[in-house]
Structure formats: structure tokens, C-alpha cells
Chain A
Amino acid sequence: MSWIGLDRLLLTPDASRQVTPDLDHAELCRRALHLGGQLRGQQVQRVALYLEDAADLAIALLGAWQAGVQVLLPADAQAQTRLQLASRIDLWLDALDPAGAAAPLQAHALDLDQCRLTLCTSGSSGEAKLIDKNLRQLSNEVAALEQLWGETLGDAVIVASVAAQHIYGLLFRVLWPLCAGRAFLRRAQPFPEDMQRTSLEQPGFAWVASPALLKRMGDNLDWTALQPLRRVFSSGGALPVEAAQLLHAQLGQWPTEIYGSSETGGIAWRQGDTPWQPFAGIELSVDAEGALRLTSPYLPSGHCEQTADAVELLGDGRFLLRGRLDRIVKLEEKRISLPMLEQALMAHAWVGDARLGVIQQGRAFLGALLALSPAGVHALRNQGRRSVTDTLRQHLAGHCEAIALPRRWRLLSQLPYSSQGKLAQARVEALLAAPRPTLVEPLSAVEHDGEWQLELEVPLDLAHFSGHFPQTPVLPGVVQIDWAQQLARQLIEQLPPRFVGMEVLKFQQLVRPGDALQLSLRFDASRGKLYFTFRNGDKACSSGRILLGPEQ
């Protein structure tokens, strides 16, 4: 195995050097130079590559750079993404033509400062954020990785669970092994069982994985057979301590966690629950808010990158991570901009206001707290909740990946902003975590001559509406009787505790989500009867007498 710099990979085709178990380096060079010839023939200057096969991605990257073409790696292949990027590219390439009829280019060493790669990730403002890199930055990083871990990896085949479209997968499972002469597998493996099976087909192997996989290893793997696993890398998000401990217990080694971002590349690494060790040449500082800033050989020279990660620097150069300071969240390593999704939701005619939060229940997912517009309330009353949430999910599906689609919805008439106009994220998440309401809070309650008058607003999101009825939510009569009795018990002292029966029940008018109701309550102690009437304006909705008796 010998190291070839990222700029010289196509210069000396070597059939004895494996790129993947079924592709050698000579064939990689041949195909890359043909593809370069094809791109030049088509006068392509900027190409977007969306290739799930990591070997195809390597061929296309090297071919494009050889032809002087700028490369963009979209984060996903959503229609919205393609539309947004359309003006920036001449060609969207999501499959390679293996025949490659065009005349090949002559191989020459690449100019590390001229060859460009653009990565995509979500920015805090909402729009997809484009991050430009030159080949020198990437080249510095893969060289540093080899310096640190090349020896322990040796000729291990790289098996990955993550896509190669993002910085971590691109560096760890494509560019680094390419330069090192280490073979990698073409396809990302989503299941632990698949990671094991494809690994055990190789004599030696190392894993490029993520917390999404490592915290769900199950109890089904043959850890004894996996002992030859040389190293497990994890990046993209925080790895829970328990997941690291499991690997340590089963394999006798801690996973190697990499902390970094698309903007910065790798920043630091650690094994086990220890402080983070910055990569060589990275200078760290902390701003007034406690957020990390850094310069790095993987950033443009002289550039100081501001992150939104709170850190605590230790005396020995290492540091502790203290969480994010902005409203970009990570779901299973995917960065999701909450402001972007909120804007997209508010663009829908049914939504007046929207706040999103993360719910952690088994897996982490998003929940949406919505204030419906009058049109939204109309839709809810006439089509039901499922129809509303399905429509909004479909509306959002054009703006984001499936992982970011809210799975839980809480519908309100308005969001509970504080008097300063603030709504803390913790409050949003508490509201999302709570079950849908079954009761109603009176807006006011006034007593006059032994009769109580209450103002109520029927919650849009009342749990009873889902079954009663799915497409036409109506407040069940039994719930009205229950509310009358429960509210009376809050207001009227010494109400007999036992429900005995009912008299002259009348239901005259349907009560629907969002209705403003007036409830009158009067207790006739001599007869043990609670009189109630629900009205909606001048129309009576229901009335009756609830008979109450002493404890038996």
C-alpha cells in the first residue's frame, strides 16, 4: 500500500491497487478520464453529482476535476433542492454510463487550489447553505487522517453505514481510502446485520458509521466474528455514552468519534467519554456567547469559522462540548433548520403561526405546534384533523427530507407567546410532549345569584375528535355532561360526590372544534340536581340535569 496525493490519483494507473473489491485503480483511472472527456465535450462547467455508489462518485469526482469542472454535492435529490440548484449547475448526474464512448482526457496533476467542491447543508436562515472547498483543504484533511490512523487500519476494507454525499462519508469512505490504497465498499449498509455480513466477506475491515447505527446495534451480532474490526468511526452527531460503552464491552475498543461540520471539516476526535482532542494545526477560541471559533488547515487559509456549538476549553488544549446555541437541530445526524420548516408551514393558507420542536421517544422526531388560520379552522371542522395534518405533511414534503416531516401535531387557536412576545423552545417542546387535551379550561367564570356563567373555547385539538368523527369532528354529548360536572366540582363547594343519573337531556346543536361556548351551571341542593346549559351565542347546544347523591 502506498499513499497517492489527491491531486495525483489519475497519473499512474495501477491494476494491483484495489479501489473496491471489484474495481481496480487502473479501471478507475480509465473510467474517470473517459468521463472527463465526456464532460469537456459537452462543455459542462458545473456539475451536480448525486451517486449512491461510492466508486461511481470517486470516478465522477476525479473525472470532473480532471476536466476542470466544478463539482456540487447536493444533500438530497428532492424536487425543491433540484429547483434551487438549477441555476448553479449545467448538469445533474445521478447515474454513470459505463460504456463511456467519449475520448479520454490526458491525465495531469490537479491544481489543489483551483479544483473546487461545493457541499450543501441546511443554514440557519432556512435556505440550503452552500459550502465551497478547494482540493487543498480536502487533501490536508485526508493526509492528517492517514497520519493518525493509517497504521492501525492497514489494509482494512472500509465498510460504511453513511452516505458519501456529505463531508464525513466523502472523506472517510471515499477520498481517504482512495489516497491510501485501501479498498472500500460501494454501497452504504443501513442495517447492523448488513454491516456484519458485508464485513465478514472481507479479510480485514473498519467501519465508517454514525450514531444512528451504533445506538441500535441490537443483540443479534456475532461479536466474536467481528473481532477483526480494526476501528469504528462515528460522526455526524453526538454518540450516546451507552452506545460507545456497548462497543467497548463487545469489541475491547472505543469507537473513534469525530466532531466537525460541513463548514469546518473535522475539528476534533475522542475515544470514550473523554474531552475532545483537536486535529493538528487547528486553533480554537471561544466567543462572548461561549461558542467555538476556529482556524484550521481544512478551512480557507486565514479564515476564522464561527460555530454555534458551546464549548469549554480545557488547559491541555482539549475541550468539552456543551450543546448547540441556535435553532438548527440534528435528527439522526441530519441537520434540520427549524426556521426553514416553520416558514414553509406558514406559507400554507391553513397555518397562521408555527413552531417546531424535537420529541425524543425511541427515536427523535419533529413535532409541530400550529396556530391555525381561519381557513385552517374551517378545514379542520369540515374535513377533520387527519386531513389537515396529511395535507400539511404533503405540503412540507416538497421542502425537506422525509426525516424532517413532523410526526406529531398540536393544533391551537394561537401560540402561547409571553407578554414579551417570546416562546421558549423548552415550552414548545413541553407542549408537544403532552398528550392531546381531553378537558377545557374556562376563559372566565362568574357567579350571580347562585348561577355560574362560564366562557369556554372548545380546543381544536381535543383528543375526543379523532374518533368522533374522523372527518367531521363533533363534541360528544357524554363529554359535554362530563365537562359540566367537572367544572361544577371546581366551582361549587360541597357538591355531593356521587353521580346518580340524568334527567331531561337535550342535544339541539352540534358543538365543533373552536366553538365559543357559554356554560351555565346551577346546583339545587334541596333536590340534589345540577342544572347545565351549553349555548353557542343565542343557540342552545345542550341542556339537562345531573342527579347527584351522597357517598353510599
Chain B
Amino acid sequence: MSDLQLEIKHLIIEALGLEDMVAADIGADLPLFGEGLGLDSVDALELGLAIQKRFGIKIDAEAKDTRQHFANVASLTAFVAARQTA
């Protein structure tokens, strides 16, 4: 598991108040929304803000694939990594 993945898992737990969770509970390909971790659209908004703030990046308002980036920790990590180097 990369450091960035771990950081994102901690961010999810912290930003969304998932007190009983630890990073190891969130598999990199576990779906974050709907089935899986069971987050909802408000969590998506909160998480979007937390990610942008923590990593100083922007969600591309032109892009149609925002939802895909937030599918799971692996896709979110790839998204943040790509944005940071961009």
C-alpha cells in the first residue's frame, strides 16, 4: 500500500467521522459509495472538499469523470497523484 493510499484512507475516516474504522478496513478497490463502504452523495461532497483542501488540488469542473475518480481508494489515489504532478 502506498503512503498516499494510506493517507487517503485516513482522510476518509477522519473527514466522514467513521470512528470505528481503521485504514485496513478500506480495501483499495472497495467501492466507496452505494454497496461497499456505503457512503452517500453528501459524503462525496465532503470528501471532494477534504481532498481538494488537503492536497491543494482542484476537481476539474470540465471533466465528466469526477464520479469515476471517487469510485474507490485506488482510483482516488491515482487521481490525486496525477493532479499533484500536473
Give residues in A with beta carbon < 8 Å to B.
Answer: 190-194, 196-197, 212-213, 216, 218-222, 332, 359, 361-363, 365, 385-386, 389, 397, 401-403, 405, 407-409, 466
Contact = CB atoms under 8 A, between A and B. Distances in A.
B15 interface: yes
Contacts, number: 73
A218 B48 contact: yes
Interface of B: 15-20, 38-46, 48-49, 52, 58-64, 66-67
Contacts of A359: 17
Contacts of B38: 397, 402, 405
A332 to B, nearest CB: 5
Contacts of B40: 401-403
A362 B20 contact: no
A220 B42 contact: no
B61 A221 contact: yes
A190 B18 contact: no
A408 B19 contact: yes
Given A193-B60, A194-B66, A220-B59, A407 B18 contact: yes
B42 A332 contact: yes
A484 B18 CA distance: 33
B45 A213 contact: yes
A219 B49 CA distance: 9
Contact of B61 (A190, A193, A365, A403): A193
Contacts of B59: 191, 193, 218, 220
B45 A197 contact: no
Given A385-B20, A389-B20, A408-B17, A220 B45 contact: no
B20 A216 contact: no
B58 A363 contact: no
B42 A197 contact: no
Contact of A363 (B20, B46, B48, B64): B46
Nearest to A220: B58
A218 B20 contact: no
Residue from B20, B44, B67 having most chain A Cβ neighbours under 10 A: B20
A308 B21 CA distance: 36
A529 B19 CA distance: 40
B19 A190 contact: no
Contacts of A409: 19-20
Contacts of A196: 61
Nearest to A193: B61
Contacts of B63: 193, 197
B69 to A, nearest CB: 11
Q: Chain A contact residues: over half helix, strand or loop, or mixed?
A: mixed
Given A216-B49, A389-B20, A363 B61 contact: no
B44 A363 contact: no
B74 to A, nearest CB: 20
Contacts of B64: 197
8 shortest interchain CB distances as A-B pairs = A193-B61, A216-B45, A190-B41, A332-B42, A402-B38, A220-B58, A196-B61, A407-B17
A362 B17 CA distance: 8
A401 B66 CA distance: 24
A275 B66 CA distance: 38
Given A216-B48, A363-B42, A402-B39, 5 more contacts: A197-B62, A216-B45, A362-B16, A363-B43, A407-B19
Residue from B18, B19, B44, B58 having most chain A Cβ neighbours under 10 A: B19
Contacts of B46: 216, 362-363
A218 B46 CA distance: 10
A386 B19 CA distance: 10
A198 to B, nearest CB: 10
A429 to B, nearest CB: 14
Nearest to A191: B66
A398 B49 CA distance: 30
A407 B19 CA distance: 7
Contact of A190 (B20, B44, B52): B44
Contact of B42 (A222, A386, A403): A403
Contacts of B61: 193, 196-197, 220-222
Nearest to A361: B17
Contacts of A403: 40, 42
A422 B78 CA distance: 52
Nearest to A467: B22
B24 to A, nearest CB: 10
B20 A191 contact: no
Residue from B39, B45, B48 having most chain A Cβ neighbours under 10 A: B45
Contacts of B49: 216, 218
Contacts of A408: 17, 19
A212 B52 contact: no
Contacts of A386: 20
Contacts of B18: 407
19 contacts: A190-B44, A191-B66, A197-B61, A197-B64, A216-B48, A216-B49, A219-B52, A220-B59, A221-B61, A332-B42, A362-B15, A362-B46, A389-B20, A397-B38, A401-B40, A402-B40, A405-B38, A408-B17, A409-B20
A195 to B, nearest CB: 9
Residue from A222, A403, A409 having most chain B Cβ neighbours under 10 A: A403
A386 B41 CA distance: 25
Nearest to A390: B20
Contacts of B43: 363
